[in-house]
């Protein structure tokens, strides 16, 4: 009783000034029956969901191999990966400054620790990357949980402290620490899919990639990072409409089993055509063209935008050309 009187006295003497400015209603997070969590980034759906596959140009205007995908629905902004350090500063940061009008990125996903995925979060200096944009705030960061000994990884992890919450893939899949498995924007869902590797200490960084599936009514997009050993995923997934080829289209990923499970209508290759790995190789292209002819590569088209109202989708870019009709393909690959 004495304690209660003290609380009342403090309440009265401070003039009842309670600051609600940082108050986040708990009702936007739901615990599911299986122990996982769903978070509503917004209760409202947008009329048009926009997904951009960025052509990652450095400060010499040359495309570099890497991944960066930006998702927008009204004021909800999601970025998946940010390319290497240079393109993060030269391409991704200016792009986000233009697109993220409310200066708040609700969700950042770093699929795995390779430099061509997390370098751009750090940028050319730690003040010039995607996680250091002036006046921007970052609500939630999802990272793979793989502990790398690289400098870019330690710089990236240092910057994650800017976010309100940071979770790894394994905790998200299980609902540990109230980490989120399913993000919702109205009836749009972005779900983390199991790959069997999120808690595997022996798995490579590529296989530790966080895989996410974006669904807006009838239209689906898959973002697999650089996952290479895709048997588990292939056995647990069905058709998607738009598939960002895994590992930039490398033949070490994108198995026939996965492609046959997905039967994608559209495949996006986020690569540069000049890298030392010869990606995308003829072998993986043969597997992809056995499924679909609608394949586009960011380095031949420029940044690709695929927008949807949930029923149909629309693909645009500055130079939209099917990969098989591009100069690069005609000089370097064949349709078998």
Which positions lie near Ca ion, rule CB under 5 A? 75, 77, 102, 104
At closest approach, how far in Å is the CB of 149 from Ca ion?
Answer: 34
Q: Nearer Cβ to Ca ion, position 31 or 103?
A: 103
CB of 103 to Ca ion, least distance (A): 7
Nearest distance from C-beta of residue 167 to Ca ion, angstroms: 19
Name the minimum Å distance from CB 48 to Ca ion.
Answer: 16
CB of 42 to Ca ion, least distance (A): 9
Chain centre distance of CA 203: 20
Pick the closer one to Ca ion by CB: 104 or 333: 104
Closest CB to Ca ion among residues 31, 43? 43
For Ca ion, give the closer residue by CB, 136 or 323: 136
Identify which of residues 75 and 265 has a Cβ nearer to Ca ion in the complex: 75
Q: Are strands 182-185 and 313-316 parallel, antiparallel or unpaired?
A: unpaired
And the tokens for 54?
């960025």
């Amino acid at each position: 009783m004495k304690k209660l009187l003290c609380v009342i006295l403090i309440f009265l003497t401070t003039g009842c000034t309670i600051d609600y400015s940082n108050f986040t209603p708990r009702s936007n997070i739901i615990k599911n029956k299986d122990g996982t969590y769903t978070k509503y980034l917004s209760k409202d759906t947008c009329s048009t969901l926009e997904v951009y596959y960025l052509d990652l140009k450095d400060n010499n205007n040359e495309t570099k191999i890497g991944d960066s995908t930006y998702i927008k629905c009204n004021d909800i902004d999601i970025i998946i990966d940010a390319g290497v350090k240079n393109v993060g500063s030269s391409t991704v940061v200016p792009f986000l400054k233009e697109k993220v009008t409310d200066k708040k990125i609700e969700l950042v996903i770093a699929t795995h620790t390779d430099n061509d995925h997390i370098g751009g979060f750090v940028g050319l200096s730690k003040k010039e990357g995607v996680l250091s944009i002036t006046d921007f705030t970052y609500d939630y960061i999802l990272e793979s949980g793989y502990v790398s000994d690289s400098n870019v990884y330690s710089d990236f992890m240092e910057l994650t402290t800017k976010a309100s919450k940071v979770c790894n893939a394994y905790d998200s899949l299980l609902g540990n620490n109230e980490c989120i498995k399913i993000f919702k924007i109205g009836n749009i869902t972005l779900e983390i899919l199991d790959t069997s590797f999120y808690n595997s200490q022996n798995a490579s960084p590529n296989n530790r990639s966080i895989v996410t599936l974006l669904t807006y009514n009838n239209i689906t997009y898959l973002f697999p990072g650089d996952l290479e050993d895709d048997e588990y995923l292939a056995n647990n997934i069905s058709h998607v409409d738009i598939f960002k080829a895994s590992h930039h289209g490398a033949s070490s990923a994108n198995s026939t089993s996965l492609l046959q499970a997905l039967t994608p209508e559209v495949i996006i290759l986020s690569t540069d055509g000049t890298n030392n790995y010869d990606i995308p190789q003829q072998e993986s292209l043969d597997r992809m063209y056995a499924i679909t002819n609608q394949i586009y590569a960011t380095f031949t088209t420029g940044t690709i935008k695929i927008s949807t109202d949930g029923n149909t989708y629309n693909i645009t870019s500055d130079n939209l050309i099917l990969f098989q009709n591009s100069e690069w393909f005609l000089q370097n690959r064949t349709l078998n």
